[in-house]
Structure 1
């Protein structure tokens, strides 16, 4: 009969055998790491333009693609009223104007994430002009805007005035992102890949107070000091971008009116070749003092409070000639690497997307379907000859303040693209007029957000930590088992 010591020894040996076997089995079982889905991040950007303000809300997964978030547009909201620069005499209203869109934005962002949402306001040419004319008023508007945004449960990052070059570069980023020039999702590979033959587009932006052209130049004689360097999705890009203040369509119309009045020897009634026959507009000369683009002294014109009536003539050729006088093409001399006003521009390269006012004007004229330059010219010329009575009855739903301006705007676009930027009969076919790709708007805000995500560290995916299968774990288990059994065997020999 076994003694108590022998029972104890056998029990210990049995327990060790069982435990060692369990350790051995566990070491050989493969348990993979379980990766949790990436969290969704949000960001919001106000585009405070010269004529209006819009809010865009974006979202992207926290695990980024080559250090740049894959961003999609969640919401766009147009702020009621004019641009924030119009509140120079009442800055408080600039901040209050944003509230309705901010309230809408918080409805699409989960409450738990709102305080982590980076929120920005970028002001463009309208505020650049106001800063030139009244710096303190511009600063006060930005202060009031910031106060309003800081009242909301978001991570307010600042309200500032963008340079024209930043506006152009971010617009270029937006266009190429939307057209999948930087990265494209491969369902087969289940990942984002850079297109093998990436087709990089140029960007043409026309706002109310400025216009921008941006593209990737090519050639050995390029002045690379005039380019900007960007890094997106792990690749470097060098782009040329130029912004022209006072060459947005609203400022152009003011400058055109002033030029026509000055040429008429300050008459009380002035013929306007771009306005339709039968349309009259009365303006005060003092209105030219409200913008740095038109308040410059002109010996032919004395700015005062008197009113002048502009009478439409509906003459396409005279309209085009009048618009061309707004550019200083002689400043370039015989240089081919020059656009106008003496500004450097390398040779055009590749295809371009024209958005904002480029698109809106040509879309109204049904010229966004790739029509030839000859067709575009013919359509514009015919439109300019239509009377105000004809236009107002044909387009009853069109804004009556905008309708008489399409002739001038269209001829301005032709001059800007052909004479200034140097597109021709052949390269005209490389321009695509569009405002949306998918559900996202063209413009600088998406590019700004994409560039912003380059500065946000990639968030490491959360894991459930499992056992890592390896031979050394099995070896340790065997060693433990061997020593344990040897030790027990030694005890048996001593006790029995």
Structure 2
């Protein structure tokens, strides 16, 4: 009886420790996912994003989980075979699905935004553009995701979402402080965004005064703050379109500001005079010397002179950058590990439409209390086994 009494006391003590000393803690929030297809003029890219389900002040703190370039040209190139435009997306979509838990796939918003290439096709042949969108919708609509649609993205939206991406990646919209809190940096730190694709170029910034032409204004609410930006898109002034007018074939649509100036080694903050001299010096070389200096780069080599001069002219004469303001331009491909473009800005804006989820709660104990609880549970087990063995001994005797 003494052993049974001791086991009862030890078990009761362990139970009290479990119930009285336990505290409620918040478990890490589940992750949500989103997929955005950037259907550009000469290629399509898929971006998979993720963010904690509880969000921060109404907006997700989004990170890039995957960037996948779709094989083949842009979807506008499939005017004669629209079905292939949809099928071309399958490979990258399957890569993204591998990273999304199966239970989350039906809750993953998926969107395809087509930019200047499809804008030009719609102007030339609206029925072909409709057929391509229908084919894309059919493929993505039957995939195991929450398909939000395939649409033609307005040039102003492309520029505005790109502005969000740049400022988010640079930590200008929200930043995690040393005190463990999310804070909003001063508005004076916001930067403007320039983007050049294959068929259009965009400029977006926060103006110093009111915007008189409301068609060039975009408004956002992100992380509890309101933003109003000036944005304008120039169709047919992208790199491919410009070079096409010079009778040079080109099928590249990346962020051409960065790639051209990176090739010319002009992305380190050099002054305008250096950029001007470097581009002209390169353009004045003989073709044989250029080929010998850059072996293995024949595919794009012939275009860097024309595109370099075009970017220089656009920034200096078109947008008005001078010797004094030129050093403020940063030529980047990524910001904080995030590809610069309109897709992340779209996803950040989209998270505001998705309800936040409260983090789950759990009962937890300190390490010392947990150790004491385990000790008393072990004592309970030992005394119970001891009492059982003594009783068995008496019965056998």
Matching residue within 365, 368, 385 for 2:267: 368
2:340 is aligned to: 442
1:442-481 matched pairs, under 5 angstroms: 442-464=340-362
1:223 is aligned to: 212
Return the offset for 1:33.
3.2
Matching residue within 402, 414, 427 for 2:312: 414
1:377-388 matched pairs, under 5 angstroms: 377-388=276-287
> C-alpha separation between the residues in 2 aligned to 1:427 and 1:439?
26
Q: Is the 8 A contact 2:113 2:153 kept in 1?
A: yes
Q: Is the 8 A contact 1:44 1:120 kept in 2?
A: yes
1:268 is aligned to: none
> C-alpha separation between the residues in 2 aligned to 1:170 and 1:197?
17
Q: Is the 8 A contact 1:182 1:198 kept in 2?
A: no
> C-alpha separation between the residues in 2 aligned to 1:455 and 1:387?
56
2:67 is the alignment partner of 1:52: no
> C-alpha separation between the residues in 2 aligned to 1:447 and 1:224?
23
> C-alpha separation between the residues in 2 aligned to 1:463 and 1:401?
57
> C-alpha separation between the residues in 2 aligned to 1:233 and 1:395?
46
1:126-141 matched pairs, under 5 angstroms: 126-141=117-132
SS in 1 for 2:159: helix
Quickly say closer, same or farther: Cα 1:45–1:197, change in 2 above 3 A.
closer
> C-alpha separation between the residues in 2 aligned to 1:184 and 1:73?
16
> C-alpha separation between the residues in 1 aligned to 2:73 and 2:286?
29
> C-alpha separation between the residues in 2 aligned to 1:171 and 1:152?
27
1:91-490 matched pairs, under 5 angstroms: 91-188=82-179, 190-196=180-186, 199-219=189-209, 222-223=211-212, 225=214, 226-257=216-247, 356-398=255-297, 400-464=298-362
SS in 1 for 2:246: helix
Quickly say closer, same or farther: Cα 1:458–1:411, change in 2 above 3 A.
same
The normalised TM-score by structure 1 is 0.66
Q: Is the 8 A contact 2:159 2:342 kept in 1?
A: yes
Return the offset for 1:175.
0.1
> C-alpha separation between the residues in 1 aligned to 2:81 and 2:333?
32
SS in 2 for 1:46: strand
After superposition, the C-alpha distances for 1:429-480 in whole angstroms (9 at most, x for unaligned) are: 11000011232100000001000001111112223589xxxxxxxxxxxxxx
> C-alpha separation between the residues in 2 aligned to 1:387 and 1:438?
39
> C-alpha separation between the residues in 2 aligned to 1:86 and 1:224?
34
Structure number with higher relative contact order (C-alpha < 8 Å, ≥ 6 residues apart): 2
SS in 1 for 2:303: helix
> C-alpha separation between the residues in 2 aligned to 1:248 and 1:224?
23
> C-alpha separation between the residues in 1 aligned to 2:260 and 2:363?
58
Q: Is the 8 A contact 1:181 1:198 kept in 2?
A: no
* Aligned residue pair count: 343
After superposition, the C-alpha distances for 1:340-398 in whole angstroms (9 at most, x for unaligned) are: xxxxxxxxxxxxxxx81100100011100001101001100010011222222222221
1:90 is aligned to: 81
User: Rg larger in 1 or in 2?
Assistant: 1
Alpha-carbon RMSD? 2.1
> C-alpha separation between the residues in 1 aligned to 2:218 and 2:94?
36
Q: Is the 8 A contact 1:171 1:444 kept in 2?
A: yes
SS in 2 for 1:358: helix
1:15 is aligned to: none
After superposition, the C-alpha distances for 1:268-289 in whole angstroms (9 at most, x for unaligned) are: xxxxxxxxxxxxx7x8xxxxxx
Matching residue within 71, 84, 88 for 1:80: 71
> C-alpha separation between the residues in 1 aligned to 2:265 and 2:342?
25
Return the offset for 1:218.
0.4
Runs of 5+ unmatched residues, structure 2 = 1-15, 365-397
SS in 2 for 1:432: coil
Runs of 5+ unmatched residues, structure 1 = 1-24, 258-280, 284-354, 467-496
> C-alpha separation between the residues in 1 aligned to 2:131 and 2:299?
30
> C-alpha separation between the residues in 1 aligned to 2:266 and 2:362?
56
After superposition, the C-alpha distances for 1:416-439 in whole angstroms (9 at most, x for unaligned) are: 111111111111111000011232
